[in-house]
Amino acid sequence: MAEKKKHLQSIHVPHNKNTVECETERMPIPDFVYISMSQHIGAPCRPLVKKGDSVKVGQPIGDSDVPMSVPIHSSVSGIVSGIEESRSDNGGKNTLVVIEADKKQELWEGIQAPKAGSREEFIQAVRASGLVGLGGAAFPTHIKYNPKNIQDVTTLIINGAECEPFITSDHRIMVEETENIIDGALLVMKQLGMQEGFIGVEDNKPDAIAALRSMIEQKGNPNIEVIPLRSRYPQGAERVMVYEVTGKTMDAGVLPADLGVILSNVTSIAFIGQYFKNGIPLIAKRITVDGDAISRPANVLCPIGTKIADVVEFCGGYKEPPKKILMGGPMMGRAIFSDQLPVIKNNNAILIFAGEQAWVKEETACINCGRCYRACPFKLMPTLLSSAVKRRDAGALERLKVMQCMECGSCSYICPARRPLSFNNKLGKAIVKEAQSK
């Protein structure tokens, strides 16, 4: 690990980790699941089943011939009751395979622990598992693990930072599935020819750090080291994590593999550890359910495709009428329009608010305090970027390096005028891309 002279700029946000001591509860199988064919970056899958078909747990029900894609599997056994078109969480179109569960949970006959005798077989098995980045990005993992310069990649970084307020699902997996994490890390390092591994964990999770170090010792002290990190936001962002662990600067457009690194979320690594033992593909997800509208905040393991409303019902229902529903955290998560949407692979939290936390405070004039600049990990100047967005000045936006923005929301959070600076940066990136396409 390289020596760093200083840390990247960051902010403190309230942790509100209300569920940190809540052991994961396995939710009963719902009557119906609604499994989206668009759960990853890249081409959506086409359904492999039709109405009336019988399906079993782990059976592939969607796939695509496009490389940037992964298969999707049934999370329950039962009967396909329909193929529906619906609106997705981002407002686009979505195809859902609707399955009426028979509650028997019969495993598909094709399930068996994969054998990976070579790197190519390992990559194929990872694709077959349906794994995508479970930290929120939903990038197909078989693509990430197969960079063109794999011979130059020497370091695995496992992202155990969970810096978004409220969310504790990764924390729970570090204390509940510690062996799967270390087994998964050792397997990835072996198959990809990596020499060293680091697990970055914030120092406000001493139980997770202790559990991981103990398991590493039980495994004979392989070349994996737990790196305690400052409990700051956005510690878990990919480019921040790479810098804080290795000291290597990762500009926009640079891939971790270009720096000799592959970075995976801790839940993704734990899944690999499990998958190569029992062959069960990605069909369930551990999520944190919290917010002042929820009667009983909890960490829940639910079948992928479960309606959010069913998850809320398992958590005691609403104690107040919900006013805002978030998929993910309050900093980088997405506000959604209905609790009738299903849980997808990269969900790590459902946060539902009814009170003050649901309010959007009124924007006022900029007072030129400079807090947004001091909060930005990459020292961007959000107020100047915002002015350039208003002028639709693509040249100025490029000179101000708007593409460096990773939309962490630190500038918006810290702004006393409540200006939507991060959202403006997102618009600025779209303006630059539009200009470059002409």
Residue positions forming the annotated binding site: 366, 369, 372, 376, 405, 408, 411, 415
Q: Which residues pair with 111 in a beta bridge?
A: none
**The total number of residues written for the chain in this structure:** 438
Mapped onto helix, strand or coil, the DSSP state of residue 424 is helix
Which residues contribute to the annotated binding site for [4Fe-4S] cluster? 366, 369, 372, 376, 405, 408, 411, 415
How wide is the angle at C-alpha 87 spanned by C-alphas 28 and 50, nearest 5°? 65
What 3-state class would DSSP assign to 146? coil
Residue carrying the six token digits 């700029």: 9
Q: Do 77 and 57 contact (CB within 8 A), yes or no?
A: yes
Helix (H, G, I), strand (E, B) or coil at 37: coil
Cα separation values, 105 from 75, 76, 275, 301, Å: 9, 6, 18, 15
**Which whole-number Å values give the CA distances from 229 to 205, 209, 215, 306, in the listed order?**
10, 10, 19, 34
Record the tokens describing residue 45, joined without a space.
């899958």
Between CA 183 and CA 133 the distance in angstroms is 18
Measured distance CA(201)–CA(215) in Å, rounded = 15
**Residue 318 pairs with which residues in a beta bridge?**
294
The residue assigned the tokens 């002028």 is 391
Looking only at the bridges linking them, the beta strands covering 60-63 and 46-47 are antiparallel
- Contacts for 352 with CB less than 8 Å, ≥ 6 apart: 289, 291, 293, 294, 312, 318, 322, 324, 325, 326, 339
At 394, the amino acid letter reads A
Contact 186, 223 (CB under 8 A): no
